[in-house]
Amino acid sequence: MLTALAVIGVSAPARAQVGETVAQFYKSCQAEGGRVNGRCDSYIEGAADTLAAFGKGGNANGICGGGYNKGQLSRIFMAWVPSNRQVGSLPRLAGVTLALREHFPCRMREQ
């Protein structure tokens, strides 16, 4: 019995968890049909809140500008992806970040 358990443990190598890609997340967002407070909108809003904090801190890698409304952020992402299909295999956060930074860019501050 112990031998069988040892063989099972050894024969199934651990695999790294692969995250959702931009293309997969886009399809998931499409399936939600623009539902506000859905998984898509909530994820993008969380990313935007974090990026806005970076922008307010003076980091050009954040997002800047006026505020944003519920549902607006997922519409920005959904409009951005078809014109940027080359990033489809990137992690979802990378695509969300690129889309939001393009829409709400931070200008470099003079030092």
DSSP code for 82: G
Cβ–Cβ contacts within 10 Å for residue 107, how many? 9
In a domain, 36, yes or no: yes
pTM over 0.95: no
In a domain, 4, yes or no: no
- What is the per-residue pLDDT for 108? 61
Domain count, the chain: 1
In a domain, 12, yes or no: no
Interacting residues of 37 by C-beta distance below 8 A, sequence separation 6+: 70
Rounded mean pLDDT for each run of 10 residues along the chain, 111 residues in total:
40 54 96 83 94 90 85 94 97 97 80 44
- What is the per-residue pLDDT for 51? 95
In a domain, 50, yes or no: yes
In a domain, 109, yes or no: no
In a domain, 14, yes or no: no
In a domain, 39, yes or no: yes
For tokens 């470099």, name the residue: 108
- What is the per-residue pLDDT for 100? 96
- What is the per-residue pLDDT for 7? 38
Task: Give the domain range for residue 63.
Answer: 19-103
In a domain, 42, yes or no: yes
